[in-house]
Structure formats: C-alpha cells, structure tokens
Chains A and B, each alone.
Chain A
Amino acid sequence: MGNTQLAAIWRRLKPTALALVVPLLLLAFWQVATTQRWTLLIPTPWQVAEYMVDFAKGGIYDDAYSATLVTHLLASMSRVYGGFALAAAFALPIGLLIGRIPTARMLLDPFLQLMRPIPVTAWLPLSMILFGLGAKSAFALVCLGAFYPILLNTVFGVRSVDPKLFEAASMLGCKGNAQFFKVVLPAATPSIFTGLRLGLGLAWFVIVVGEMTGVPQGLGAVIMDARTLSRTDLVICGMIVIGVAGYLSDRVVVAIGNRLLRWSPTHNA
C-alpha cells in the first residue's frame, strides 16, 4: 500500500480517532482506579457494561430494572421532546414579539430577564405544588429549561437583521407586514435554529431534575431511585444513556439544520 493511500485513510479516520482519545483515556483511568481500589464505591467499567446489557435486555441479574431501558428511555424522550415543543411554542412567538415590537419588549423583557437566573432546580418545589406530582411537573420543568435559549436567540435573530435588507425589500416593493415573512423570519432562521438546538440540549440536561417530581418511569427517575438504593452501576448506566440519547438527538437536529440552512455560510456544523 502506497504512502498516499495510507495518508488518505488516515485523513478519513482522523476525526473519529481524535474524538475517541479523551473517552478512552478516561475509561482507562476508571479501570485503573477501580481495580487498584482507590475507591470502593464505584463499580468497574466491566461491571457497568454488564449491567448495561442487563438494563437493556435482561437475563443477567433479573432484578426490577432488568430489560427496562427502552421503557425509561421512551418515557424520558416523551418529556424531553414534549417539554421542548411546549417551550418552542411559547418562546418563538414571544421572542418574535419582543424582537419586533418595542412595547412588547418594554413590557416583557425586564420580567423575563429577572426570572432567568432562577435555576430549574429551584422551581422544583413550586412546580410540584402547581402541577402536582408526576408527568405534568416534569413537562413544566423541562419546558422551563428549554425556554430561555430559544427565546434569547429568537430575539437576537430578529433584532440583528441587516437594516440594508429592509431597504432592499422596500425598494423592491415589499413593504410593511409583508417584510416580516419575507425578510425578518428568513433572516432570523439561523439564530432561531441555534436557539432550538441549545434548547433541546438543555431539555436533556434538565431531565433528571424534571423527573425528580415523583414520576415512576424515566431515566432521571431511575437515577434518583438508584441513588437511594446505592446502586451506582445503575446510576452510571442512566448517565450514559442520557449522554448518548442527547448526543444522537443533537446530531439529528444539526443534520436538519445543515439541510435547511444550506444558504448560510456560518451554519455548517
């Protein structure tokens, strides 16, 4: 095999290879730390892997969590995507209003900025009082987590439209409200899209808090239950599933974005 061929293969594999370096180092450190008994409270990678198989398919331990991964994953996904959709349904119109109408900005912006620093965790007790124990609270908390990135990026997108484009549109005969659909919305799509992507990421990020509301199923619920049962292997399995699911969901969003935003030179992630 020639050198040029080798170089070509390396170019193809390089991104994957580099991406694996840090996880593999971490895994090696984990292996050493647990087999050398630096800590007794964390299971070895192998134990976790074995438990993951049981969590997914059963047949090894056959306890209450065997073969329940899909059930919990689907429960969490319904809350993540449901809460995210709810957040988008509120944040997009409010963001467009704040971005376009000064009165709406003066009315809503100070209040929303005041609420923004309050973490989702802090809302947990109130949410349980307002929406009760269970799924409604989980939706509300996930929605809250995804709301602000969508809102802020929508406002930013709408407000940072190049003023020249309005002049260009009006001299071409597109005036008044027609400009909203033909200039503002398309010009703001890259920002709006960034907001949606961040929002979905945050929806996964807050899923554990969202499922502290006493729901029986869900990856967050599993992690909280496993914690009280001191089942660290199960905790780590739940973490890994959330990480992978969140990652895959982000890749899908990025693929959609690259397709819809082909025209945007800055949007090819």
Chain B
Amino acid sequence: MRELPIIDIKGVSKVFKLQDQTINALSDANLTIGKGEFICLIGASGCGKSTLLRIMAGFEQPTAGEALMWGKPIEAPEPSRGMVFQDYALFPWLSVRDNIGFGPTSRGLSSGEVKATVDKFVELVGLGKFANAYPHQLSGGMKQRVAIARVLANDAELVLMDEPFGALDAMTRERLQDELLDIWQRTGLTVVFVTHSIEEAIFLAGRVVVMTPGPGRIESDNALTLPRPRDVSSPEFNDIRRVLGGKLHSHHSKVASAPAVAV
C-alpha cells in the first residue's frame, strides 16, 4: 500500500456568495502533496490560490469535494498546520518571545518547556537581540521571521504561506527565501507557498502548481528537477521561467509555443 499523502485535495470547489453575486473562487481542484515536499501555488489574482491555501488551513470549508490531511477531513484550523500571513498577523501586544510562545502556551506546556522552545526558535530565525522587542519596533523582514518561528515553535508539520514575502524589499526577500529553504531542508517540513512571482516559485519549489482565474482552477502541476541551490541567472532557470510564464498566461492569450524543455 502506498504511503498516505500529507494533503489530499479531491475535486474541491469553493463558491462565495456576495449579495446576489456568486463567485467561483475554485473549481474542481485536485492536488496531492507528499510529506516533505515544497509546493508553490502560483497564479494571477482571482485564480483561487489563496482560497485553496485557506481550505488547507481549515479557515474555509470546500463547497464541494474534500480536503484531507493524513486521510482525515480538514475541518478547523489546527497547530499541525501553521499559516504565515502576508501581513504577518503578529499579536502587537506581545513581545517577539511571547508571540513565539503563544502556541506552546495555548497547548498547555509548562513555563519551562515554553521557555526552552521559545529560546530555540528565537535563535533559529536569528532574532536573539530582538527577543523582547514589540512587533511595531521590527522591520517587515523581522516580523515575518517571527511569524515563521511562531508556526515552527508550535510543531507544525505543514507550513502554509500566503505571499509571505510579497511586502518585503528585494534584498530582504532573497535572504528570507534562502533562510526558508535552509529551514525546510534541515527540518523536513512540508511547505505550501503561495506567490505571484514566477522567479520566487522556481527558486523555491519542488513542484510549481500553476493556477488560472475565471473560475479559479489548477492549470498544471510542474515538478522541478533543477538542483539546488538554484541560480536565477542560469539558462536552465530561464527556460523554466519561459515555460511556466506561458502556462500562466495561457488563459487569456495563447503564447507562441515555447520550446519544450524537461521541466
């Protein structure tokens, strides 16, 4: 018998009703994610990538189909599935330490265990000097580090990231991408990462899931075999970028057929 996938999305659709309008945010999505994979969901706004992510998190329920984790339906948010939001969603009244300790405290760990966990993850994301600072005193990059540490400190096995680096400057983004890959490789986490940047997706992902809008659906699922660390200026990287770019835009203009490459 094959090993259960960590996430199994089976024929999931999501319809939102806004007054008299109905919006097909997601239509018949199928996706299987194995433990330890790094998946990027990519697509223009309205393609349903965030909706799919929120269904995996348990913030939304599918209108049709089912979303499973380890074979069981995802019904509500849980510490095993941590979400990293684009706008951080840190608790502004808690220090860096207490933000990271929020989950362990909620799980009822003893104060000694909470302290040990917090110490470990404050160091992991390199915020030792800022452990007692409040979120408003931190830069965007540091806030996102706290948000990542907060999820990891809670023993999440699946980390869901909703355009986490979208609001950061290019330099900070590159550093955090490197750090995230480093953490992923060291911990064996499973990561689902939503982005609208093709470069970011190709740099990070083991698989890039391209989604298109109107109604939101999965266009293609592309496994990347390019060895890491990946060089964004290499010809191989650019070939993949061209192919995925073509798929990304295929719903409104059929791009002149790109040269076939093994993606």
Contact = CB atoms under 8 A, between A and B. Distances in A.
A171 B79 contact: yes
B255 interface: no
Contacts of A169: 91, 102, 106
Interface in B52-87: 57-59, 76-79, 81-83, 85, 87
B91 A186 contact: yes
A173 B93 contact: no
Given A164-B87, A171-B79, A264 B106 contact: no
A124 B197 CA distance: 66
Contacts of A70: none
A173 B134 contact: no
Nearest to A164: B89
Contacts of B81: 171
B154 interface: yes
B212 to A, nearest CB: 26
B91 A183 contact: yes
Main SS of the interface on chain A? helix
A262 B78 CA distance: 31
B150 interface: yes
A165 B90 CA distance: 7
A230 interface: no
Contacts of A186: 91, 93-94
B120 interface: no
B5 interface: no
Contact count band on B: 20 to 34
B83 A174 contact: no
A172 interface: yes
A168 B93 contact: no
B89 A172 contact: no
B107 interface: yes
Contacts of A171: 57-59, 77-79, 81-83, 151
A78 interface: no
Nearest to A264: B92
A62 interface: no
A173 B83 contact: no
B251 interface: no
A178 B106 contact: yes
Given A167-B59, A168-B83, A173-B106, A262 B89 contact: no
A268 to B, nearest CB: 11
Interface in B173-212: none
Q: Looking at B77, B78, B151, which has the most chain A CB atoms within 10 Å of its CB?
A: B77
Contact of B89 (A167, A174, A189): A167
B85 A168 contact: yes
Given A164-B85, A262-B134, 5 more contacts: A167-B77, A172-B103, A172-B150, A174-B106, A187-B92
